[in-house]
Amino acid sequence: MFPAVKILAEITAAAHRVGALMIWDLSHSTGAMPIDLSATDVDFAVGCTYKYLNGGPGAPAFTYVSGRLVSTVSQPLSGWMGHKEPFAFSLHYQPADAIRRFVCGTPQILSLACLQEGLTIFADVDMREVRAKSIALTSLFMELVERECAGHGLEIVTPRMAGQRGSHVSIACANGYRVIRALADRGVLGDFRAPDLMRFGFTPLYCSYVDVINAVRTLKQVLDDASWREERYATVLEVT
């Protein structure tokens, strides 16, 4: 069992021992590492599909409900598509059987179409290989940042032990927001989390080792020439 999955199982079991149910947020793990919710006896899980599942902007979220609970749980966001007979136009709401009762509105067809194409890629993918590449990409990135960007006050805060991290790397930087803005103008897209964290995600299916090398090279350039000091990068945008 993979370390992250083992931890997931242990925490879920601890919750069950005191009579609690467990809800997991899998937004940063689905599509980047192997996870077996049935084998770990997880009760509920939620997540997004626009990250490692390649759904793109506007992709729908997902919900997982254990088979032992799905017929007994009430969905507070009842919607037409979750009705057992949506075209019966009954005066009383009756939830559909199984997981469909958790659909709370009309599906976004265009978003679902994009997501479906993204998911087809996984049909022939071994998630163990995906995870192995994720570890290799993030390890290479951290190694290169430490070597090539030494002296610029960067601190990698992501755990070095592979079993303790996902598929992104966070770096503390006093001027992190400006650096991220400058990188974006050069084609390297990270994001920023206050107060000082630059975050870089690596999607194993299509992110290459050359991409990692080029990203670090660009980061070094931005730091060396101090282009991040340009006044335009001080303006805080709505999305960071």
pLDDT in tens, 190-204: 999 999 999 999 999
**For position 40, which CATH number holds?**
3.40.640.10
**Residue 83 DSSP class:** B
CB-based contact 140:165 (threshold 8 Å): no
Range name among 5-14, 144-153, 166-175 with the lowest pLDDT average: 5-14
Q: Could you say which of 101, 123, 145 is where a domain stops?
A: 123
Q: Are residues 59 and 135 in the same domain?
A: no
Mean pLDDT of the region 31-49: 93
Q: How many angstroms separate the Cα of 233 from the Cα of each of 12, 117, 183, 230? A: 44, 36, 10, 6
More confident residue, 240 or 151: 151
**For position 175, which CATH number holds?**
3.90.1150.10
CB-based contact 48:27 (threshold 8 Å): yes
Domain extent at residue 83:
3-123
Mean pLDDT of the region 58-69: 92
pLDDT surpasses 90 at 57: no
Helix, strand, coil % (nearest 5) of the chain? Answer: 40, 10, 50
Cα 157 to Cα 29: distance, rounded to the nearest angstrom: 18
Q: Are residues 115 and 135 in the same domain?
A: no
**Residue 240 within any structural domain of the chain:** no
pLDDT surpasses 70 at 210: yes
Q: Could you say which of 76, 95, 123 is where a domain stops?
A: 123
Q: Are residues 17 and 77 in the same domain?
A: yes
Cα 53 to Cα 31: distance, rounded to the nearest angstrom: 5
CB-based contact 44:75 (threshold 8 Å): no
Q: Are residues 115 and 71 in the same domain?
A: yes
Q: Are residues 41 and 142 in the same domain?
A: no
Given pLDDT bands bounded at 50, 70 and 90, which one contains residue 215?
very high
**Residue 239 within any structural domain of the chain:** no
Cα 122 to Cα 226: distance, rounded to the nearest angstrom: 41
Please state the φ and ψ torsions of residue 171, each to the nearest 5 degrees.
Answer: -130, 125
pLDDT surpasses 90 at 16: yes
More confident residue, 179 or 124: 179
**Residue 200 within any structural domain of the chain:** yes
CB-based contact 152:229 (threshold 8 Å): no
What are the structure tokens assigned to 194, written together? 């206050």
Percent of the chain scoring above 70 in pLDDT:
99
Q: Domains in the chain: how many in total?
A: 2
Q: Are residues 165 and 196 in the same domain?
A: yes
**Residue 94 within any structural domain of the chain:** yes
Could you read off the pLDDT of 220-232 as tens digits, one per residue?
999 999 999 999 9
pLDDT surpasses 70 at 11: yes
Given pLDDT bands bounded at 50, 70 and 90, which one contains residue 1?
low
Q: Are residues 132 and 37 in the same domain?
A: no
Q: Are residues 134 and 102 in the same domain?
A: no
pLDDT of 118 reads 87
Count of CA atoms in the C-beta half-sphere (13 A) of 170: 12
Q: Could you say which of 74, 91, 123 is where a domain stops?
A: 123
pLDDT surpasses 80 at 240: no
Q: Compute the mean pLDDT over every residue in the chain, rounded to the nearest whole number.
A: 93
Q: Are residues 202 and 136 in the same domain?
A: yes
**Residue 211 within any structural domain of the chain:** yes
pLDDT of 162 reads 92
pTM as predicted: 0.89
What are the structure tokens assigned to 134, written together? 């994720």
Q: Are residues 107 and 186 in the same domain?
A: no
Q: Are residues 7 and 102 in the same domain?
A: yes
What are the structure tokens assigned to 173, written together? 């930087």
Q: Are residues 83 and 143 in the same domain?
A: no
